[in-house]
Amino acid sequence: MYGQGLIKGLSVTFSRFFESYTEDIRWLFKRYSKVEFHSSKDTRGTFTIQYPEERLIIPEEFRYVPFLVYDEGENGEKNIRCTSCGICAKACPPQCIWIVRTSDPVTGRPLPQPAEFYIDADICMNCGFCAEYCPFDAIKMDHDFEIASYTRNLLNKERLMKPASYYAGIRPKNNAREEAARAEKAAAKAAKP
Amino acid sequence: MESTHKSNMATPVLTETIDLAAKFPGRVTPDARPGYSGWMVAKEALVEVSTAIRDELGYDLLSNVTGVDYPEQSKLEVVYHVYKTTGGPALTFKTQTERVDPAEVPSLVSVWPGAELQEREAWDMFGIKFTGHPDLRRILMWEGFEGFPMRKDYKEPFHEEDNKPLKSRWPEGKHSYAEARNPYGDNIMFKPGFDPEKWTPTDPEEALYAALKKYKTEEKDGIKTDHIIVNMGPQHPSTHGVFRAVVVLDGETIVSLKPVMGYLHRNHEKIGERNTFLQNVPYTDRLDYFNSMYNAWPYALAVEKLMGLKVPERAEYIRVIMGELSRIQNHLILFGMLWNDLGAYFTPALYAFEERELILDIYEAVAGSRMMCNYQRFGGVVRDIDEANMKKIKDLVFERLPRKIEEFDRLLSENEIFVARMKGIGYLSPEDAVAYSVTGPTLRAAGIPYDIRRADPYGIYDRFEFDIPVRHNSDLLDRYLVRVDEIRQCLRILQQAVKQIPEGPFLAGKPQYQVRVPAGEVYGRVEAPKGELGFYVISTGKGNPYRYHIRTPSFINITSVEKMCVGTKIADFVTILGMVDIVLGELDR
């Protein structure tokens, strides 16, 4: 019969249409917990979510413009982990990292601390190489993707610095793994006479 | 339905060795440079030798044509990679010409018509003049552009240094904006003596329109009719980006057609030659941005071959799993967008996007980004797939996707309007398909079971059981059905892969940001969802590739579009172009 294929196809559309209502009723009073269900294999009905009231769960590995990690000292001082070794600046594909090394004012020898650290976030392609190849776990990829602004995003050291606790919060698994590796290294160093 | 449309193409075992030098004494010599392979053909004998390669040796598919610049030897080289559609490794041959203007090389369009756009690209980028080419114009740059960008002595605006990493970034990296550093003062380079104030423009499109068939006025049934030229694009919703086609119409029927491209050109290859080897990996994601998981694979294959790296088992499986998921979501987008083109606005497209979302969720959780995955590394992948994500993948490939593919099939495949719009439209004969270097589903819909996963297996594809879907009518409907079958075969591969995947390391050696790549040339290719994707890489042993060329399926498949369109209605052009499956990031590079 001519038109059979058409009807067959429309039956799919119709069942989807029907499903969107039954699903709405099912999630009527716990609408915002639907997000978790959203990315499971059984998801049905209306697929979209109501951003910004509802938000997708950001997976741990999600990467956005990098930040610099600092450890909080006992008196509230910020001990930046970066030693300004320059590996991130060398690995960066669009070359959006600028580092000024600190020199000792007396001897002129380099100190393991960046005097300035810029990331041109307009050029950054969020590839994550800087975080991947940093030997000191000092630069990490962020989860904060809402950085729309009226000016160009040239991030300086002050804007880039975030505490280690923030990092542990967004990437708990990675942080635990790195902490363990650091502890092991420290133990090996201590064991050496 | 499925069982009648598959081919159990076997990987050919090649025993013969081809000695071109003995066959053409004096005209062909082996390429003896260290790390290089293939044959060096004297340019006077090029057409004769390549005709023999095609007719006598059976290398019918011209895969890749590209130029290489050797300013030290004062030579320009053209490299050709040819394959047999029955499978097997490549035959590489090259020809050299003096690096003077004009550098002339005979065109091979008469032997392999598929060389047309690729030779135009080599002319555009290297200034190699192909004598006998029917329509040698610039292709990615605009007419009137000064210089040949891929030559080693070309310096682009904002040029800082020849190679990355740039020395100004560390240890005294005072940030400055690029425009402040521009050595030319502005973003344009002019001919010597050119004064923009006194310039009177000529029609830059003159050559383009001249390349189309001439306007014709004729008497038909007592009415005087004209051919008209219609520019479709670059801003046209059906071209899926900034692609432009200039068509000559007789009423509604297409008389001739020329693709115009380059609106999204960013000279990926020049950027690639400035980058270090590793820095190219995230850039490849921006080629075919729907399949960023697949894009870096041939590049990784090529560089691994040069480095002699062995990829761990688990990494091979992860590559297959991610790659096949990518193929599924690519075809789903194509179906959805095809229906958009046909007028079923966005309902099927969004049905397709749902499944794609679930696949992208996995990419995001594993690789860190939905589209710009940056997942491949030399010798493996960057991150393992953990338990939770593996479970998600299993759920998808065993439960949800098979169900949804059937639903999709029910929604679309038998729809009478759809069939009427697709059946018999856009015919391309199998001979033409091969001659025009068409690869991917379009070639398989023409009845030729050529799939690199079987023809010249890479990775671990030789371990899986799957069929190569083939159709024989070579119209739009078959190109659609081949892709539906292909998704089913993807699921078969995925089901085997997630069952077999072993534990173990996912990256060979330690992660390194500066890899040592021995000198030599290499061509790595894979069956990407859109066709053959190949990377031609030359290393000189330094930190940056000397030559980095990408053979992209979108770009080369578009060569055959005129052949498919002539004689059909203008409305069908939209569908034909949709089924060629172009993506502009890859077409324009």
**Given this model, what pLDDT does residue B2 score?**
45
**A94 phi and psi angles, rounded to 5 deg:** -85, 5
Q: Return the minimum-mean-pLDDT range out of B137-151, B200-214, B221-235.
A: B200-214
Q: Return the minimum-mean-pLDDT range out of A45-59, A154-168, B204-218, B556-570.
A: B204-218
**Given this model, what pLDDT does residue B202 score?**
66
Angstrom distance (rounded) from CA B317 to CA B294? 13
Chain A from 131 to 150: CB within 8 A of any B CB: 132-133, 141
Q: Does A5 sit within 8 Å of B419, measured CB to CB?
A: yes
C-alpha dihedral, B5 to B82 to B546 to B535, nearest 10°? 0
Cβ-based burial of A22 (10 A; exposed 0-12, middle 13-18, buried ≥19) = exposed
Q: Which two tokens stand for residue B239?
A: 């071209």
Task: Flag whether residue A41 sits within 8 Å of chain B, measured between CB atoms.
Answer: yes
Q: Does B279 sit within 8 Å of A6, measured CB to CB?
A: no
Nearest CA to CA, how far is B228 from chain A (Å)? 36
Angstrom distance (rounded) from CA B262 to CA B243? 8
Q: Using CA coordinates, name the residue in chain A closest to B401.
A: A41
**Given this model, what pLDDT does residue A32 score?**
61
Task: Flag whether residue B357 sits within 8 Å of chain A, measured between CB atoms.
Answer: yes
Residue A45 scores a pLDDT above 60: yes
Q: At B537, is the pLDDT very low, low, confident or very high (cuts 50, 70, 90)?
A: very high
Residue B580 scores a pLDDT above 50: yes
Average pLDDT in the B201-213 region? 70
Q: Return the minimum-mean-pLDDT range out of A111-125, B226-240, B258-272.
A: B226-240
pLDDT digits (tens, 9 = 90+) for A70-108: 988 888 888 888 888 889 988 999 889 999 888 888 887
Q: Which residues in chain B touch residue A100, judged by CB atoms under 8 angstroms apart?
A: 171-174
Nearest CA to CA, how far is B368 from chain A (Å)? 4
Contacts 24+ apart (CB under 8 A), A97-104: A97/A130, A97/B169, A97/B170, A97/B173, A98/B169, A98/B170, A98/B173, A98/B174, A98/B175, A99/B169, A99/B170, A99/B171, A99/B173, A100/B171, A100/B172, A100/B173, A100/B174, A101/B170, A101/B171, A101/B172
User: Is residue B152 domain-resident?
Assistant: no
Range of the domain at B52: 7-131
Residue B6 scores a pLDDT above 70: no
**Given this model, what pLDDT does residue B213 score?**
62
Task: Flag whether residue B420 sits within 8 Å of chain A, measured between CB atoms.
Answer: no
User: Is residue B93 domain-resident?
Assistant: yes
Pairing of strands B39-41, B91-98: parallel
Task: Flag whether residue A163 sits within 8 Å of chain B, measured between CB atoms.
Answer: no
Q: Using CA coordinates, name the residue in chain B closest to A36.
A: B361
User: Is residue B413 domain-resident?
Assistant: no
Residue A180 neighbours by CB under 8 Å, 6+ apart: none
Residue B184 scores a pLDDT above 60: no
Angstrom distance (rounded) from CA B93 to CA B112? 14
Taking the CA atoms of A127, A129, A130 and A131 in sequence, report the sign of the dihedral they define. positive
Q: Return the minimum-mean-pLDDT range out of A42-56, B290-304, B371-385.
A: A42-56
**Given this model, what pLDDT does residue B204 score?**
65
Task: Flag whether residue A2 sits within 8 Å of chain B, measured between CB atoms.
Answer: yes
What ipTM did this prediction achieve? Answer: 0.89
User: Is residue B17 domain-resident?
Assistant: yes
Average pLDDT in the B79-90 region? 88
Closest CB to B169 among A40, A89, A126: A89
Q: Does B170 sit within 8 Å of A90, measured CB to CB?
A: yes
Percent above pLDDT 90 for chain B? 18
Residue B10 neighbours by CB under 8 Å, 6+ apart: B454
**Given this model, what pLDDT does residue B3 score?**
46
Residue B536 scores a pLDDT above 90: yes
**Given this model, what pLDDT does residue B326 score?**
92
Q: Does A118 sit within 8 Å of B175, measured CB to CB?
A: yes
Length of chain B counted residue by residue: 589
Total count of domains within chain B: 1
Percent above pLDDT 70 for chain B? 93
Q: CA end-to-end span of chain A, whole Å?
A: 89
Closest CB to A13 among B347, B395, B414: B347
Residue A1 neighbours by CB under 8 Å, 6+ apart: none
Task: Flag whether residue A109 sits within 8 Å of chain B, measured between CB atoms.
Answer: no
User: Is residue B13 domain-resident?
Assistant: yes
User: Is residue B194 domain-resident?
Assistant: no
Number of H helices, E strands in chain A: 7, 7
Chain B from 197 to 216: CB within 8 A of any A CB: none
- Please provide the DSSP assignment of B545-586 as one string: EEEEEEE-HHHHHGGGHHHHHTTSBHHHHHHHHHHHT--HHH
Mutate which of B179, B354, B369, B384 to disrupt the A interface (most A C-beta within 10 Å)? B369
Q: What is the amino acid identity at position B447? A: G
Q: Which two tokens stand for residue B290?
A: 């729907």
Q: Which two tokens stand for residue B92?
A: 């590489």
Core vs surface per residue B332-347: b (16+ CB within 10 A) or e: bbbbbbbbbbbebeeb
Chain B from 135 to 174: CB within 8 A of any A CB: 164-166, 169-174
Mutate which of A16, A98, A103, A111 to disrupt the B interface (most B C-beta within 10 Å)? A98
Cα–Cα nearest to B81, from B105, B122, B32, B115: B115
Q: How many Cβ atoms are within 10 Å of B227's Cβ, its own excluded?
A: 18
Q: Which residues in chain B touch residue A99, judged by CB atoms under 8 angstroms apart?
A: 169-171, 173
Q: What is the amino acid identity at position A107? A: T
**Residue B69 vs residue B181, higher pLDDT:** B69
Residue B20 scores a pLDDT above 90: no
Pairing of strands B39-41, B28-30: antiparallel
Residue B36 scores a pLDDT above 70: yes
Chain B from 56 to 85: CB within 8 A of any A CB: none
Residue A117 scores a pLDDT above 80: yes
Q: Return the minimum-mean-pLDDT range out of A32-36, A87-91, B308-312, B465-469.
A: A32-36
Average pLDDT in the A169-179 region? 89
Q: How much is the CA Rg of chain A, to the nearest whole Å?
A: 24
pLDDT digits (tens, 9 = 90+) for B332-355: 988 888 888 887 788 888 888 888
Q: Are the beta carbons of B368 and A131 closer than 8 angstroms?
A: no
The mean pLDDT of chain B is 85
The mean pLDDT of chain A is 86
Task: Flag whether residue B175 sits within 8 Å of chain A, measured between CB atoms.
Answer: yes
pLDDT digits (tens, 9 = 90+) for B401-455: 898 888 888 888 888 888 888 888 888 899 999 999 999 999 999 988 888 888 8
**Domain containing residue B14: CATH number:** 3.30.460.80
Average pLDDT in the B232-256 region? 83
Nearest CA to CA, how far is A79 from chain B (Å)? 20
Nearest CA to CA, how far is A166 from chain B (Å)? 18
Average pLDDT in the B111-132 region? 90
**Given this model, what pLDDT does residue B13 score?**
66
User: Is residue B72 domain-resident?
Assistant: yes
**Given this model, what pLDDT does residue B7 score?**
65
Q: At A31, is the pLDDT very low, low, confident or very high (cuts 50, 70, 90)?
A: low
**Given this model, what pLDDT does residue B321 score?**
92
Q: Does B357 sit within 8 Å of A39, measured CB to CB?
A: yes
User: Is residue B319 domain-resident?
Assistant: no
Q: Return the minimum-mean-pLDDT range out of A28-32, A63-67, A115-119, B533-537.
A: A28-32
Q: Are the beta carbons of B521 and B36 closer than 8 angstroms?
A: yes
Q: At A115, is the pLDDT very low, low, confident or very high (cuts 50, 70, 90)?
A: confident
Residue B190 scores a pLDDT above 90: no
**Residue B116 vs residue B3, higher pLDDT:** B116
Chain-centroid distance of CA B562 in Å reads 18
